[in-house]
Amino acid sequence: MKSVIIAGAGIIGLASAWRLAQRGWNVTVFDPREPVSEASWAAAGMLAPGGEIDSNANLAKMALRSLGMYPEFVRSLEEDSDVSIEYTSCGAMEVAFDDAGLAALNAKAERQAAIGIVSEPCRYRDWAGRRYLADAVVDPLSINEALVTACRARGVTIREHEAVTEVLPHGPVVRTLHGEYTADRVLIAAGAWSTTLMADLPLVYPVRGHLLYFEMEPGLLNTIVRSGHTYVFQREAGGVIAGSSMEHAGFDRTVDPAVAEDIHKRAAKLVPELADAKPADCWNGLRPATDVGPVLGRVGDTNVWTAYGHFRNGILLTPDTAQIIADQFGPG
Ligand SMILES: Cc1cc2nc3c(=O)[nH]c(=O)nc-3n(C[C@H](O)[C@H](O)[C@H](O)COP(=O)(O)OP(=O)(O)OC[C@H]3O[C@@H](n4cnc5c(N)ncnc54)[C@H](O)[C@@H]3O)c2cc1C
């Protein structure tokens, strides 16, 4: 049986671990914290090529493929974990607040049509905009719980509270705070921390984003509503998520009340019912950003692979990423 060490127990590391274990690999995952405590815990969970992608053809191709894989990914993960995953193909409406905004939205729709992202004109409250029929939402907490459970059920060893300090490509050798390990292959999937683990990888850097959570009655929203990077949607039980921000604050995850207030104002413009509601929770996370998109695949002729840099769309891109890694690795 071939062995792989994965650095990082976020959604990308764990989905890859699960798929590799299904193919017979002996998998060990290391993480300095508990599994899924970073960006994958913080994410909103929109699966939103329409809302998120403008004109990047490669990203659109991967995103649409991954979105198409979601129903089967969820079904198979539920079967392996016995955890129910909240997933809804609810679509999204993006609105403009004035004529210039609408013209920009329509121009964006033309660019998107050229890369396969479909939208149609719509109205929401007083505003005109575009509806993205294919956009969807998954609850990241349910998917994360399912992945941890499915990994353990498939024999994956998750070594939490053990940070990888260095990956030496030849061997390959993985050094952690507690020892030195070798395996047939190593996968670096440590999100915003990935390039601290091995020399000469394309740089990844953290872009912080805050989210707000409101306890509301179910039935307020049946779709994502958004304007640019402001978005609001409702989970089945009623909780409303509103986001977000894009902050260059290093690895600091202190919640910033001024950012929270700004998101509240923007969200209340889209959904006036939120104006007088008090947020029940506010948190943030660190998106793994690169200047080249997701960094996926083998590093030169070494036995080290990478899967990081999914930035704003890591939840969306998870099924396709795990499939790409599993296909490149082959049977264990
Ligand atoms: C506010 C916010 C909203 C978002 N909303 C969405 C959304 O709606 N839809 C969407 O698709 N995406 C969304 N994202 C983006 C998404 O969360 C990320 O792209 C995705 O979670 C990245 O997953 P990951 O596993 O690569 O990183 P992470 O989840 O950050 O996991 C990396 C893991 O590596 C571990 N690690 C760190 N250092 C080491 C080390 N030395 N050794 C071993 N392990 C290490 C960390 O502890 C962590 O567990 C959002 C992100 C944020 C912050």
Once rounded to an integer, what is the mean pLDDT over residues 71-88? 98
pLDDT tens, position by position, 127-139: 999 999 999 999 9
Determine the residue of 90, 162, 287, 308 to mutate for testing ligand 1's pocket, defined as the one with the most ligand atoms within 8 A of the Cβ atom. Answer: 287
Determine the residue of 14, 148, 282, 310 to mutate for testing ligand 1's pocket, defined as the one with the most ligand atoms within 8 A of the Cβ atom. Answer: 310
Average pLDDT, the chain: 97
User: Whole-angstrom Cα distance, residue 124 to residue 93?
Assistant: 7
User: pLDDT at residue 313 above 90?
Assistant: yes
Beta carbons of 311 and 2 less than 8 angstroms apart: no
Q: Ligand 1 in contact with 30 (CB < 6 A)?
A: yes
Q: What percent of the chain has pLDDT over 70?
A: 100
Q: Ligand 1 in contact with 308 (CB < 6 A)?
A: yes
Predicted confidence at residue 295, as pLDDT, reads: 98
Beta carbons of 43 and 140 less than 8 angstroms apart: yes
Q: What percent of the chain has pLDDT over 90?
A: 98
Which residue range forms the structural domain that includes residue 305?
Answer: 1-89+134-204+291-332
Q: Kindly state whether residues 74 and 54 are assigned to the same domain.
A: yes
Predicted confidence at residue 160, as pLDDT, reads: 98
Q: How many CB atoms lie within 10 A of CB 219?
A: 8
**158 occurs within a structural domain:** yes
User: Whole-angstrom Cα distance, residue 114 to residue 20?
Assistant: 35
Q: Kindly state whether residues 234 and 327 are assigned to the same domain.
A: no
Once rounded to an integer, what is the mean pLDDT over residues 77-94? 98
| Pick from 258, 223, 260: nearest CA to 242 | 260
**261 occurs within a structural domain:** yes
**For the CA of 286, the nearest atom of ligand 1:** 53
Q: Kindly state whether residues 209 and 175 are assigned to the same domain.
A: no
**CA of 126 relative to ligand 1 center, distance in Å:** 36
**147 occurs within a structural domain:** yes
Q: Ligand 1 in contact with 312 (CB < 6 A)?
A: yes
Domain count, the chain: 2
Q: Kindly state whether residues 196 and 210 are assigned to the same domain.
A: no
Per DSSP, helices labelled H in 91-186 are: 99-114, 140-153
Q: How confident is the model at residue 228 (pLDDT cuts 50, 70, 90)?
A: confident
User: pLDDT at residue 119 above 90?
Assistant: yes
**CA of 153 relative to ligand 1 center, distance in Å:** 23
User: pLDDT at residue 213 above 90?
Assistant: yes
**CA of 208 relative to ligand 1 center, distance in Å:** 11
Predicted confidence at residue 146, as pLDDT, reads: 98
Give ∠ CA 139-142-143 in degrees, rounded to 5. 85
Q: In 128-164, which positions are buried (b, 16+ CB within 10 angstroms) versus exposed (e)? A: bbbbbebbbbbbbbbbbbbbbbbbeebebebbeebbb
Predicted confidence at residue 229, as pLDDT, reads: 87
CATH number at residue 6: 3.50.50.60
Q: Kindly state whether residues 75 and 198 are assigned to the same domain.
A: yes
User: Whole-angstrom Cα distance, residue 121 to residue 217?
Assistant: 28
Once rounded to an integer, what is the mean pLDDT over residues 1-17? 98
pTM: 0.98
**For the CA of 283, the nearest atom of ligand 1:** 1
Sheet-wide strand order for 173-176: 164-168, 173-176, 180-182
Q: Kindly state whether residues 64 and 209 are assigned to the same domain.
A: no
**CA of 129 relative to ligand 1 center, distance in Å:** 31
Q: Ligand 1 in contact with 38 (CB < 6 A)?
A: yes
Q: How many CB atoms lie within 10 A of CB 92?
A: 28
pLDDT tens, position by position, 33-74: 999 999 999 999 999 999 999 999 999 999 999 999 999 999
pLDDT tens, position by position, 139-173: 999 999 999 999 999 999 999 999 999 999 988 89
Q: Ligand 1 in contact with 43 (CB < 6 A)?
A: yes
Give ∠ CA 286-289-290 in degrees, rounded to 5. 160
